Chains A and B, each alone.
Chain A
Amino acid sequence: MRIPVETFRLDNGLLVTLSEDHTAPIVAVNLWYHVGSANERIGRTGFAHLFEHMLFQGSAHVGSNEHFELIQRAGGTLNGSTWLERTNYFETVPSNELALALWLEADRMGELLPAMTQEKLDTQRDVVKNERRWAVDNQPYGTMLEKLQELVFPSTHPFQHSLIGSMEDLSAASLDDVAQFFATYYTPDNAVLSIAGDFDASDARQLVADYFGDIPAGSGKPPLPPMNLPPVFGQSLREVVYDNVSLPRLFMTFRSPVFGSEQYYAASVAGAILGLRKGSRLQRSLVRDRQIAADAGAFTFDLAKGTDLLVVDVTARPEIPVPQLEEEVEREIDRFYREGVTATEVKRAVALIETDLVTSLQSAGERADRLSMFATFFNRPELINEQSDRYRAVTMDRVNELISERFGENNRASLLYVPREGVESEGILAAAAGTA
């Protein structure tokens, strides 16, 4: 199965990808800016994401919150999201409203700053602080992402600091920061625009040229500090977090080949063998057979620079002591490392991944997002059509090579959450018995 892909670039550097599909009268518009939390300067953690919120606060010809209103009034859906390496903005609208979605994106790419005010920044700062409280501070295991980044990346690495940001840094963000960040990163030559769904390619080209053509190119962004890291940590890393959680949970993390590399696909398959769905090793062994885990899975971060991370995520059953959780997971990983995988396991994983790839492409928004991703990271949106083949080419030997390189004891970082209450009451019991 292949989807059509057309690519062109405007003189100002904006890379545009188009993919027509006329089965339903809807069209998706998707913009990736090649900037994320990795680009933040010291003292401004969380700024890329706060900035994403500011992009919904209006631009020269669009009022505060009007972006949301105009798209919803048109019968469309929309949002944005921020990740370590990129920030994306997207709309899916009835196909006769394509021009509106493009115009709104162009207005904020071209002329955001006239609409920025201190009051809007202050309100969005409060909104983001509440997002942090909601998703991180008041949510069990909510600190996982920032604790993990801190544990597995060296202190000077761009991926080391918090994406949502510290309260202190959020408080420090100013309108000057907004202006500077906009001028540096929100330029057409640092962005990819994708359009997928029901549209006419020549009409779309014209609209893109009309709306985006006059936006000036940027003057380049500062280079990131060196991102490359050795393939393994070189030691076992471990951190224990005593937190307000009910069940112990272990996130065991491995440095893994970067997204899109040849080896990435073998790593992705290894992750699926370990933790994708009920027939995976961890589900079968720890959840079903040994019944020490309430849940188990594995996933990759899909980072395209430096190193990717593969994470094994296991939550203990209530009656299982913390040391046993760690031991049993380690035993599974040791066996994985020692014995490798079988061809049958590879086949299962690839079959599942392939179905997911095809089903996800049913959605215009998903097509557009993937086109933007492959264009942003590799300048090759047509990679969207090569994914199934890449996965099918993964052999048992490739996976086993990858496992022996990456799953040894010198490449494991364990982030372990332990219920705070259990620890306290154990302490109290121990004290009462006179052993503390």
Chain B
Amino acid sequence: MVAVLRPKPGPPRSYHFPNFHDEVLPSGVRLVTAPVSKLPVVTVLVIVDAGSAHDPAGKEGVAALTAGGLLEGGEELDGAAIAERFEQLGTSVESGADWDSAFVKITTLSDRLEEATLLLGETVSSPAFPEREVERLRAERLAEILQLETEPRGLADEKFTEFLYAAESRYSRPDEGSTESVTALSRQDVVDFYRTRYRTGSTTVVIAGDISRESARQLIGKAFQKWPSGKPSSQRLITSARTTRRSVHIVDKADAPQSELRVGHVGLPRKHPSFFPALVMNAILGGLFGSRINLNLREVHGYTYGASSYFDWRRGPGPFVVSTAVQSEVTAPALREIFLEIDRIRGDRVSDSELSLARDYLEGVFPIRYETTAAIASALATLVIHDLPADYYDSYRKNIRAVSADEVLEAARSQLHPDQLQTIIVGDARLVRDPIAELQAGDIQVHSA
């Protein structure tokens, strides 16, 4: 009936990551423009070196609160009026902070770009941070933290990083702050953080979409002419591990139908010579649907709906983590399989078939990742945040292709540390504790949720 023979691929058509221009405007703001004229859409992404890693000790969450407050009132308009103005233009605007940067982003139809961008520049150049709105954002963050108590996935992620990093590391606490730190934050903390970190020398505007380089230069020059000048100082980030011994933490949830599992250790920073080998190694271990960990836990054993592993790429060494949720009864056998897979990929070379699957996937999927102006802008922001070379995207596929089985093995042996694995389980301690003790995965501590 259906043709028996599998079709062969045709000749590939070439693809290039969109050309972009990188320059510093007279004001000192850096501008990266990628003209892409597929549809009448433009994304403007402002990134500031004001991420959560810059939170002063005891003020965890101030970076996120500051970024959130940027749109809550300016010299002339209050927060409600700002939202109304943007939305009348059909533009939604969002702001926030992750570990390595603060951002403000709009995606708009081209014919409204100028008005929306001028509004954006005006708003974020002179935020008033009204007391009432800062208080509200703080209360909303506290509500979010409270929600985590009953949300096993988010709770597992948070507990994992807490037990992974030394207490004095900023990475050991939630990027948006804890109940204690957020409760203690004031409007003045926000104002101080903004004054210190939001400067021309720490700001890049990325524009991707239906616009020329010249128009972008004029528009951004005008919109950000009032941006405060100067360059904030850099800070030393502590990223040491809490312990180098294996240990197990059970966050007890009586009668939980599943155990949320996180297994891992401190990984490596984004800018690292082993980046490409580690990326390919992880794709084979747990990055793809057809990875060892997913096929083992899901398709062989039916323990889970899905299991994956990843390096959380940050400027500092973010976590390496295996993440899954399994039926409570099989928590210990599932963990055993995870440990085995980590040992196995460090033991022998991966097969040619596994290596080609990972490389072909990462190479082939590359153009599919950059279909939208938002995705292109975000890729360009990554270049800026991690100070990657301008030809990074042009050489990406070549770099993937060059990774050998020996390098994958080397990456597994040097970057995965079975003797340091931290295991976090959000689940029913009564049910899972004894079987886990038999795995000898380290000392077990049980915590209440």
Known: A25-B15, A277-B87. A352 touches B149 (CB 8 A): no
When chains A and B are docked, how far (Å) is the Cα of A133 from the Cα of B88? Answer: 42
Across the interface, which residues of A come within 8 angstroms of B84, CB to CB?
Answer: 279, 348
- Residue of chain A at shortest CB distance from B141: A294
- Residue of chain B at shortest CB distance from A421: B150
B373 touches A362 (CB 8 A): yes
Across the interface, which residues of A come within 8 angstroms of B366, CB to CB?
Answer: 75
Among B23-31, B34-42, B196-204, the stretch that binds chain A is: B34-42
B258 touches A291 (CB 8 A): no
B13 touches A76 (CB 8 A): no
**Given A246-B151, A362-B372, 19 more pairs with CB closer than 8 A:** A60-B2, A69-B290, A73-B357, A74-B364, A93-B364, A95-B13, A96-B13, A97-B364, A99-B8, A126-B301, A128-B305, A130-B302, A130-B327, A135-B305, A317-B139, A317-B143, A318-B142, A348-B87, A362-B41
> 1/0 per residue A82-104: CB within 8 Å of B?
00000000001111111110110
Known: A211-B2, A347-B88. A73 touches B371 (CB 8 A): no
Asked whether A24 is an interface residue with its Cβ less than 8 Å from the other chain, the reply is yes
Q: Residues of B with Cβ closer than 8 Å to A?
A: 1-4, 6-15, 38-41, 79-80, 83-84, 86-92, 107-109, 136, 139-140, 142-144, 146-153, 256-258, 260, 288-290, 295, 298-305, 325-327, 356-357, 360-361, 363-368, 370-374
B6 touches A246 (CB 8 A): no
- Residue of chain B at shortest CB distance from A364: B371
Across the interface, which residues of B come within 8 angstroms of A362, CB to CB?
Answer: 38-39, 41, 371-373
Across the interface, which residues of B come within 8 angstroms of A100, CB to CB?
Answer: 6-7, 9
Known: A140-B150, A278-B87. A352 touches B92 (CB 8 A): yes
- Residue of chain A at shortest CB distance from B135: A291
Asked whether A166 is an interface residue with its Cβ less than 8 Å from the other chain, the reply is no
Across the interface, which residues of A come within 8 angstroms of B327, CB to CB?
Answer: 126, 129-130, 133
Q: Can you list 27 A-B contacts with CB-CB less than 8 angstroms, sorted by A residue number?
A: A24-B371, A73-B364, A76-B364, A94-B364, A97-B9, A107-B2, A124-B302, A126-B327, A130-B326, A134-B305, A139-B153, A215-B2, A246-B146, A246-B148, A247-B147, A288-B136, A295-B140, A318-B143, A344-B88, A351-B89, A352-B90, A352-B92, A355-B107, A358-B41, A359-B372, A362-B41, A363-B372
Give the contacts of A409-425 with B (CB-CB under 8 A): 419
When chains A and B are docked, how far (Å) is the Cα of A138 from the Cα of B301? Answer: 20
When chains A and B are docked, how far (Å) is the Cα of A362 from the Cα of B41? Answer: 9
B80 touches A245 (CB 8 A): no
When chains A and B are docked, how far (Å) is the Cα of A170 from the Cα of B302? Answer: 14
When chains A and B are docked, how far (Å) is the Cα of A289 from the Cα of B133? Answer: 10
B107 touches A278 (CB 8 A): no
A139 touches B151 (CB 8 A): yes
Asked whether A61 is an interface residue with its Cβ less than 8 Å from the other chain, the reply is yes
Q: Which 9 A-B pairs have the closest CB atoms?
A: A75-B364, A126-B302, A351-B90, A99-B7, A25-B13, A131-B305, A96-B10, A278-B83, A355-B90
- Residue of chain B at shortest CB distance from A351: B90
Least CB distance, A148 to chain B, in whole angstroms: 20
Least CB distance, A119 to chain B, in whole angstroms: 10
Across the interface, which residues of A come within 8 angstroms of B6, CB to CB?
Answer: 61, 70, 100, 103
Across the interface, which residues of A come within 8 angstroms of B290, CB to CB?
Answer: 65, 68-69, 72
